[in-house]
Structure 1
Amino acid sequence: MTTTGPEVRWGTGRARGVLAATTLGSGMAMLDSTIVNVALPALGRELGASVSGLQWVLDGYLLTLAALILVGGAMGDRYGRRRVFRIGVVWFGVASALCGVAPSTEVLVVARALQGVGGALLTPGSLAILQSVFARGERATAIGAWSGLSGVATAVGPLVGGLLVQAWSWRLAFLVNLPVAALTWWLTARFVPETRDAGAEGRPDVLAAALCALGLAGLTGALVEAPVRGAGDPVVIGAGVVGVLALVWFGARQARGDRPTVPPSLFADRVFLLANLATFLVYGALGAVMVLLVVQLQVSLGYSPTAAGLAGLPITLLMLVLSARSGRLAERVGPRWQLVVGPLVIAVGLLLLRRVVPGGGYVDAVLPGVLVFGVGLATVVAPVTATVLAAAPDRYAGVASGVNNAVARTGTLLAVAVLPTVAGLGGADYTDPAAMTEGWRTALLVCAGLCVVAGLVASGVDNRVLASAAAKPEPAEHELAHPGECLCCGVEGPPTHLSPRGVER
């Protein structure tokens, strides 16, 4: 791994600048994933969108984000993580402006897809930057702080969205990204050192990215349109078949290619595999619930957009207070128990939220579930992210971050596509309190089950993974893994291309 400066130490001014830049960048993408949720009823009314139209507004963004996030991570490793991160910030800001002026549902879906491209460039870079610039023993702490602050962005999204929708229009939910993008760009230029994988060669696999995007688009299209067109409709069947074939081709290309976007060796690691599977399940449940909660509060309980956003404020506070501590605890005692207990606590919170029905009050129906849900989220988010990155070699920091983010977004993407159908929601049901409540309660049962499975999966994680990663020595010189290959960067040939500690000459 190559860097243009010394390691960043926790507690310094530069550390705070790096954390601020990466948190604002990833938080902007996370905020946009949730801020839109509270705007859906108003957006649907103004643009005349159906349930499937609203699903595409959400999934158009998640689709390109999940499909291209691996390429974004690989591009950061190859061309420089700071450089790609900054490009992503600018792209995201421009696409947000397009979303804010969209005249129709169709135009908005296209603009959201473009937003996802920007998110795919900046999201994996934020974690990869933390993993590559902070000293080894301080990475879990930095990631914990990042998780807490980024989690705040996710949880505060409905509140901000509610205030903006009531202040003027749902369009502000997108236009608010412009000043945030400008500040993030400046902080990155000012504080973040450049890092890259010195062993990366060639260009990212564009065909693999296209296959991944086509596969996810086909499956998502089939799942979203099946309730509208019917499962036997030729368009639905064709989209599903194309999606499956594209994903199979993508997997085969990754397994057999000389320079795969995702090295198969990463998934050969049991910890990496299990932690990502747990991520998929937890974020699938999280994404679906955060969408449905604000809609249920507005449609079935009569909350205003701002009140619906305020209902989730305890999640914000719990993430802010507990996530960094959760990361430090995982570093001291190992992450396994938090990866097991966290999803189970989330499941309990989801079951409590089944009391959010017409006639229920905030204190007795909403608050207990939100509090328990927030505690579970704060327990698991930082440890699962740190575990995934610790299980991967340093040279693959960008790819590992991209994989984990892609897994999380794909979980949310598929949950948003599938869950309304499973819960019996379709057409204009999101405007009918009785139908919305019935679907809401069914969806919570499904999501609680996903979290229980996630906890069981995480029980197989090696509890020593963070300690082993922290104890791994930094290569002072370029040691050889075997004759002709450098441990630091994996480049074949004499270890003369870098100076000690990976600093560019």
Structure 2
Amino acid sequence: MTSTAAFTAPQRKALRGHPIATLIAVSLGLFMVGLDATVVSIANPAIAASLGTSFTQLQWITHAYLLGLAVCLIVGGTLGDRFGRRRVYIVAVIAFAVTSVAIGLVGSAAGVIAFRALQGVSAALLMPQTLSILRATFPREKFGMAVGIWGGVSSVAIAAGPIVGGALVATLGWESIFFINAPIAVITVIVTALVVRESTAGSSTVRFDVPGVILLAIGLAGVVLAIVQSEDWGWGDARTLLVLGGALVVLAVFVLVELRSAHPLLPMSLFREPGFSIGGLAVGANFFALLGVTFFLSLFLMNLRGVEGVVAGIMLLPLSAVSIIASPIGAVLVSRLGTRVTMTVGLALVAVSLVALTPIGVDTPYIAMAIPFVALALGVGLTMTAGADAVVGSAPVHLAGVAGGFQATMLQLGGALGTAVFASVVGAGSARGAADLDLTAALTDELAQGIVPAGLGGEATAVAQDAFLSGLHSAMLVGAGVTAVVAVLAAVLLRTARRHTAQQVVVETVEGSVGSH
């Protein structure tokens, strides 16, 4: 008996803090969040049909998650630094699972939106800990390898999302895409409790900028609220102008507070470096285009073309699967050509691919969509790595965590605004194109989701389809215009920065994407 105890105790002790075991623990949580990032877009039509959501509510199911994530990413890293990364990681995994199950059980659009926001907050607490735990576990010379595996796990999860989501929705219902997080979370918590060693940054080095957090949250929420609700209210409506104007005032106050704060959430001095500003703008524009077009491509394929969920997931696979190789390619190009060239080429690819998607219609051959999908994914990957090098690489070492948080926030904010602006353009275009059909408000709302009203004659059906497509094409041109403008800014304003190695760029990309501290 004694000899057995003496044998098992050292084994358990050796397992705690073991690098490979720790990498597996954080990869499990990362896979759960990465999978959730892409399964929801496939489930949107089923959610809308099941809960009877309006177009605005359907948008908020996406926006609520992105906002919760964007607002809390920076503070999420700070909480881990102060209270323990392992502890915060476990709490965040449990919270992500609980909110996921609640989304599937709540049974109302308002409830889904509320729990999606809380799910986003949970993800914001979880993501920064994954990299911080790896940094505290792996020696410097092996950290790049760990980060490479981290990125591979994330890419595989994102690529698997559309197919997994389509299969689950078709067989078990849309609720199952959220329920699946529960068993993954249970395994993650058990493994983490057994193998991950606790680490902190020391309470004396961590400060909370509470006014900054509150002001930034209110400002970002107000901007997105105004854009999303403009679909119902109209851009010239007093409510839209009041909310948008108020949000901009709050963001202006945030800047003033940050300038005076001894421990600012976001030091304004960072913006003096062109790479930081342009890099953040590029990341925002990148995901403005990506999330906007992804949201509507799912509606286009499943509602307008009548494609089944699994098939739609396979058709969208190039958008996510190419990301597995796009970031490494981007890292090599940044190391050899520099940030400016890579970022400009990446954004230009995004713009060109969106223009190439504008002719798509009900009968468009898949190959005509697949090629732009590949170009879009490649452009997004190049822009992401170049943006990371510009933002994180431009910041002083002691502010690298803040720079990563800024980039991650721009990523999520760009995605939220992209979905909102695309929806506004698609909604307006659909309503304008179908004006002669005298549709009710509810049917017009459905048309903006690609759902053609039943009972229309052949000619009226074609008019309705063209109305949605006209709005979708206009939205893609808006996305192309935004990314093209930022590409020009990058080409003109970015200086030829020092070239980091490909491994350094990979590390910076991960730090930027999770807002690490």
Deviation at 1:221, TM superposition (A): 1.7
Q: State the partner residue of 2:107.
A: 103
Q: State the partner residue of 2:266.
A: 262
Deviation at 1:108, TM superposition (A): 0.8
How is 1:94-173 mapped onto 2 (pairs within 5 angstroms)?
94-129=98-133, 142-173=146-177
Q: State the partner residue of 2:6.
A: none
Q: How far apart in 1 are the matches of 2:344 and 2:199?
A: 34
Deviation at 1:333, TM superposition (A): 5.5
Residues 1:220 and 1:380: Cα distance change in structure 2 (over 3 Å): closer
Deviation at 1:110, TM superposition (A): 0.7
Residues 1:133 and 1:405: Cα distance change in structure 2 (over 3 Å): farther
Q: How far apart in 1 are the matches of 2:340 and 2:138?
A: 23
Residues 1:231 and 1:376: Cα distance change in structure 2 (over 3 Å): closer
Q: State the partner residue of 2:178.
A: 174
Q: State the partner residue of 1:60.
A: 64
- Are the counterparts in 2 of residues 281 and 453 from structure 1 also a CA contact under 8 Å? no
1:277 matched to 2:309: no
Gaps of 5+ in 1: 1-12, 472-505
Question: What is the aligned counterpart of 1:453 among 456, 479, 485?
Answer: 485
Residues 1:463 and 1:16: Cα distance change in structure 2 (over 3 Å): farther
1:341 matched to 2:329: no
- Are the counterparts in 2 of residues 77 and 396 from structure 1 also a CA contact under 8 Å? no
TM-score of the pair, normalised by structure 2: 0.79
3-state SS of 2:208 partner: coil
Q: How far apart in 1 are the matches of 2:164 and 2:91?
A: 25
1:358 matched to 2:390: no
Instruction: Deviation per CA, 1:209-240: give whole Å up to 9, x if none.
Output: 22222112222222112221234545434422
How is 1:53-452 mapped onto 2 (pairs within 5 angstroms)?
53-129=57-133, 142-189=146-193, 194-198=198-202, 200-201=204-205, 203-328=207-332, 330-331=334-335, 334-363=338-367, 365-423=368-426, 424=428, 425=430, 427-429=445-447, 430=449, 431-432=451-452, 433-452=465-484
- Are the counterparts in 1 of residues 335 and 499 from structure 2 also a CA contact under 8 Å? no
3-state SS of 1:246 partner: helix
Gaps of 5+ in 2: 1-16, 431-443, 453-464, 506-517
1:464 matched to 2:495: no
Residues 1:221 and 1:333: Cα distance change in structure 2 (over 3 Å): closer
3-state SS of 1:359 partner: coil
- Are the counterparts in 1 of residues 166 and 310 from structure 2 also a CA contact under 8 Å? yes
Q: State the partner residue of 2:441.
A: none
Q: Which amino acid aligns with 2:394?
A: A
Residues 1:251 and 1:180: Cα distance change in structure 2 (over 3 Å): farther
Residues 1:328 and 1:82: Cα distance change in structure 2 (over 3 Å): farther
- Are the counterparts in 2 of residues 323 and 381 from structure 1 also a CA contact under 8 Å? yes
Bigger shift: 82-91 or 94-103? 82-91
Deviation at 1:372, TM superposition (A): 1.8
The count of residues paired between Structure 1 and Structure 2 equals 458
Q: How far apart in 2 are the matches of 1:173 and 1:67?
A: 24
Instruction: Deviation per CA, 1:222-263: give whole Å up to 9, x if none.
Output: 211222123454543442233223222222222211111223
Residues 1:224 and 1:357: Cα distance change in structure 2 (over 3 Å): same
Residues 1:314 and 1:467: Cα distance change in structure 2 (over 3 Å): closer
Bigger shift: 305-314 or 82-91? 82-91
3-state SS of 2:244 partner: helix
3-state SS of 2:116 partner: helix
3-state SS of 1:354 partner: coil
What is the root-mean-square deviation in Å for CA atoms of aligned residues? 3.0
Instruction: Deviation per CA, 1:4-45: give whole Å up to 9, x if none.
Output: xxxxxxxxx965555544444344334323211111111111
Q: How far apart in 2 are the matches of 1:454 and 1:16?
A: 40
Q: How far apart in 1 are the matches of 2:89 and 2:468?
A: 39
Bigger shift: 377-386 or 65-74? 377-386
Q: How far apart in 2 are the matches of 1:389 and 1:214?
A: 26
3-state SS of 2:445 partner: coil
Deviation at 1:379, TM superposition (A): 3.0
Bigger shift: 25-34 or 343-352? 25-34
Q: How far apart in 2 are the matches of 1:71 and 1:457?
A: 30
Q: Which amino acid aligns with 1:417?
A: A
Higher helix proportion (structure 1 or 2): 2
TM-score of the pair, normalised by structure 1: 0.81
Q: How far apart in 1 are the matches of 2:102 and 2:347?
A: 37
